[in-house]
Amino acid sequence: MRTVRTLATAALAGAALLGLAAPGATADSPTPTADPSASAGPTEAGTTFRTAARFLPGQQASAQAATGDYLYWVFPADTGQRPTVRATVTLPDADLRHGSATWRIDVYDGLRRRQPCMYGTQSRTAAKEAATVELACVLRPVRASADAWSNDPLPGSYYVRLTVTSLPDDDLGQPFDARIGVSTVDKGGAYATDGGLAAPLVPGATTADQAEADADAGRSSAVEAAAPEDGWSSGWWSDRWLWTAAGGVLAALAGVGGYVLTRGAGRPSRVPPAA
């Protein structure tokens, strides 16, 4: 009976530890917006990487432009996050258009490397009668570090470019409206890597000496200015720590349970000598 109670206690302890680790591994829902007012993003877009309009995940950025323009926005993505970019283009009145048009979004990291989409409709052709066109791009999870030759996404700034790639020449210059939003999913330790970057990939980031000088002068550095709402995590924490600790405790409990089950099996029982 004592052995059964010991094993039951070990099982309950293991289940509790795994329950603590589970939320980080199963959190697969977009990051919620803190409040309705926080959803308001910039109402204009840049026309180059340098002038890209900054917004945060959970916000909605909007812009009005002429068909044929390149529109740029930038948002931060941190270690363990998997961003999903969504764009909605409100097209000019159908009576003013002369044919179908193909729209496209592209996403670039802080090194201006184009990032492929895991899935989603990155490019779509809108018929002449269509009122809107919707685009989406689900990026790969952001890693804390990667090999220099790889194209893996790393923490830092991510640029979204929206433009029309094919349309009748007569439709160039017609006005349109665009809305951009980004949601993130925390993938946790499933994509964790050893090591991390010295600093997130943020264009215009200052050197260590300049960052120290900015801190002494009370100025924010480029990395701080581009940080997410909760700051950069630097990749030091993931729920892999919880799974590792839970595995170690379960292994110890299994050893104790095995000892309890086999204790005394290899030794003859002591029989008191006859009187």
Locus of tokens 């590792």: 244
H-helix or E-strand spanning residue 14: helix 2-26
For residue 266, is it within any domain? Answer: no
Domain count, the chain: 1
* pTM listed for this prediction: 0.72
Q: Within a domain: residue 262?
A: no
For residue 68, which of 189, 163, 150, 176 has the smallest C-alpha distance?
163
Q: Assign 234 a pLDDT band (cuts: 50, 70, 90).
A: low
The DSSP symbol for 201 reads B
Strand, coil or helix: 165: strand
The percent of residues above 70 in pLDDT, for the chain, comes to 69
Q: What is the CATH number of the domain that holds 96?
A: 2.60.120.380
- Give the pLDDT band of residue 3 (cuts 50, 70, 90): very low
Query: In this structure, are residues 156 and 109 in contact, taking their beta carbons and an 8 Å threshold?
Result: yes
pLDDT of residue 40: 80
- Token code pair at residue 27: 């959190």
pLDDT, tens digit (0-9, with 9 covering 90-100), for 59-106: 999 999 999 999 999 999 998 899 999 999 999 999 999 999 999 999
104 belongs to a structural domain: yes
**Taking the CA atoms of the chain, what radius of gyration do you get in angstroms?**
27
State residue 2's pLDDT score: 46
Do 74 and 189 contact (CB within 8 A), yes or no? Answer: no
Report the pLDDT value the prediction gives residue 109, as an integer from 0 to 100: 94
Q: What is the mean pLDDT of residues 3-29?
A: 45
In a domain, 107, yes or no: yes
Tell me, yes or no, whether 141 lies in a domain. yes
Contact 195, 104 (CB under 8 A): no
Task: Let me know if residue 171 belongs to a domain.
Answer: yes
Query: Which has the minimum average pLDDT: 63-72, 122-131, 227-236?
Result: 227-236
Range of the domain at 149: 29-186+198-233
Report yes or no on 153 lying in a domain: yes
pLDDT at 19: 47
pLDDT at res. 148: 77
Query: Which of 79-96 are b and which e, b meaning 16 or more Cβ less than 10 Å from the residue's Cβ?
Result: bbbbbbbbbbbebbeeee
In a domain, 148, yes or no: yes
